[in-house]
A and B are shown apart, each in its own frame.
Chain A
Amino acid sequence: MTSKKYTYYPGCSSEGSGSHLHVSTTAVAEKLGIELVELDDWNCCGASVAHVDGGYLPTVALSARNLALASGQGDQDIFITCAACYLKSHQANEKIRGGENMRGKVNDALGAAGMSYDGGLSVRHACEVFVNDIGLDAIKKQVSNPLDGLKVAGYVGCQTVRPFANTERGGNFDTYDDPSFLDDFIEACGAEAVEFDNKTSCCGGAIALMSPDKSMGLIKNILEEAKQKEADCIATPCPLCQQNVEMYQDMINKEFGTGYQIPVVFHTQIMAVAFGLDANKDAALDRNTIAADKLTKIANKN
């Protein structure tokens, strides 16, 4: 298979809470003929919070430095796994492309470090690359260990699809309210994607990190439906969704008297298992705080 090359921006969570997304993406990408060259010396994108205390233009400038560095590494597309990193980087890129005024201001700021960026690159979400550049058939072709009998609740979350999935520059890869790509990935891997009404409900995002009391109810709704649908696990592409929905289950159980113990994995962990890769080295299943036992069992039978 000939590989297609991308500049990979892993984002800060790849070095901490979302390290299992990084590990499993790297493993899966290799199988799918995606060559990932990490963006050298990348910085934080600012996520959904930097603007409050940092201001508007400085927040755009954070992404602008990454974009300028990326353009120095070639004109290949930027590949981003984290929903917030994708959102902020794509948004900044489109702002810079969109008007001379913004492009001028951003370049004035970049000029303070002798850098510049003309808006020439495309910033793409990893899932959009899977859909548009790789395709479901190529994913199915890699499946050597189909996930028979595994029921998965595909939880897309917000920023992977909103507000860019249905725009031309966002690759027109799915809808905002009822995206199908994640269920398609799950079924391509031989698992069953349960009907999941909460697939694009919000988990609270960064609000859940700073003020968990405000968004516990949102997370509970997601968990409750997964339980009702008898899902063996929830799968998501977003590192913040994964973290919030997984780590607050004890707190929610205490608050609401529930007994949730539902594993929350990444779509790429599911793919890695279906592709016959190693449960821990590649699928990073040892990094989930609520063990995905059924998925691990399938991985280990291989």
Chain B
Amino acid sequence: MNVISPQAAPPQASSKYDLGFARWVYANVEGGAKMSLCMQCGVCSGSCPLGDAEMDHGPRKLFMMVRAGMKDAVLGSTTIFNCTSCYNCVVRCPREVPVQYILQSLATKAVAEGYAEAVKTDNTRFSGAFNWSTAKFGRTDERLMTAKYYFSFGLIAAMKMSMANLKIALSMIKRKRMHLGAPHRIKGTGELRAILAKAAEIESSAGGGS
């Protein structure tokens, strides 16, 4: 709500503002320490392919929200999930703030902290399907990963999504670009799972991402 509007509600004392949040981000998010260098110039938001259309706040504004301690609004934002990883912001930032790395790391934190908005995003479902395939086979089986992703929305939604993409799938099969038959499986799946489990254990004990 616009604060200068006469209809604006009075500020509420709430947990919406967590003044320790910025410090937590600086210490725990990849590239977070450099966020304090942000001078709010807006090159990142201006360079962002989906900033206008699909993000509730551009990266510039999101960084100010971090400073203001708006933890719930930041970790519940669509900004951190609609980053396409184009890296325009990273190479253009005049202060060399690694914007994409920070957004990516915030998305991981939002899911790990169980933010409802974060947990139900397409990205979290897609990432889950992707990691399922990697842990099971060692590689991404595009066909099974996609099916797993569709079914994360439920049976009926999965049927609809499959039908909408049927023509694409058939053309890929015809052109030898969709693998049929048993998934390609690496020899070292056990080894890979042991590495991933250990990495997850280290990450949770350190609590950090940088």
Q: Give residues in A with beta carbon < 8 Å to B.
A: 12-13, 15-20, 41-44, 46-58, 60-62, 64-65, 87, 105-106, 108-113, 115, 158-159, 162-163, 166, 176, 201-202, 204-207, 209-211, 214-215, 217-218, 247, 250, 286-289
Q: Which residues of B contact A162 (CB under 8 A)?
A: 86-88, 90-91
Q: Which of B85, B130, B192 contacts A113 (CB 8 A)?
A: B192
The answer to whether A113 and B195 have CB atoms under 8 Å apart is yes
How far apart are A184's CB and chain B's nearest CB, in angstroms?
A: 21
Closest to A60 in B: B199
The answer to whether A52 and B123 have CB atoms under 8 Å apart is yes
Bitwise, B106-133 to A at CB < 8 A (1) or not (0) is 0110011000000001111111101101
Interface residues of B in 128-170 (CB under 8 A from A): 128, 130-131, 133-134, 138-143, 149, 167-168
The answer to whether A56 and B178 have CB atoms under 8 Å apart is no
Q: Which among B7-15, B58-66, B180-188 touches the partner chain?
A: B180-188
Closest to B91 in A: A176
The answer to whether B140 and A12 have CB atoms under 8 Å apart is yes
Q: Which residues of B contact A176 (CB under 8 A)?
A: 88, 91-92
Closest to A55 in B: B203
How many chain B residues touch the partner (CB < 8 A)?
68
Q: Bound complex: CA of A100 vs CA of B176, how far in Å? A: 44
Q: Which among B18-26, B34-42, B46-54, B69-77 touches the partner chain?
A: B46-54
Q: Which of B30, B49, B122 contacts A204 (CB 8 A)?
A: B49
How far apart are A295's CB and chain B's nearest CB, in angstroms?
A: 15
Q: Which of A53, A215, A217, A250 contacts B84 (CB 8 A)?
A: A215
11 A–B contact pairs at CB < 8 A? A17-B178, A43-B134, A43-B188, A51-B108, A53-B128, A57-B199, A61-B198, A65-B192, A158-B84, A204-B49, A210-B149
Beyond A17-B172, A19-B177, A210-B149, is A55–B198 a contact (Cβ under 8 Å)?
A: no
Closest to A213 in B: B54
